[in-house]
Amino acid sequence: QVQLVQSGAEVKKPGASVKVSCKASGYPFTSYDINWVRQAPGQGLEWMGWISSYYGNTNYPQKFQGRVTMTTDTSTSTAYMELRSLRSDDTAVYYCARASRYSGNLDWGQGTLVTVSS
């Protein structure tokens, strides 16, 4: 069965960077894209960007451009999301999702809590 297993919770200071991993299994990794979505405490879902697992090209919303980098390692079927210059309002649960251009976010990781606090 499809599984997306994310790395563990992180606590970071303002200005630091965080890199979250997402290891996929149960499907051909390069046949689907990966989306990253975050959810601040008590808030809704926010799309952070997309990476093609096959080509490696990305698309980020303007809000995160210059601060986020998404990558994949096809040899280990793992996707990564790095967010830099962290602020307190970046405190959120970060999710990866297996995505299809034709059916949205099919399967989701369990989420990684990133807490930004001095």
Residue of the chain from 59, 76, 88, 117 that contacts another protein (CB under 8 A): 59
Residue of the chain from 61, 74, 76, 87 that contacts another protein (CB under 8 A): 61
Binding mask 1-40 for another protein (x = CB under 8 A): ----------------------------------x-x---
Q: Does 95 bind another protein (CB under 8 A)?
A: yes
Q: CB 108 → another protein: shortest distance, Å?
A: 4
The C-alpha atoms of residue 31 and residue 45 are separated, in whole angstroms, by 25
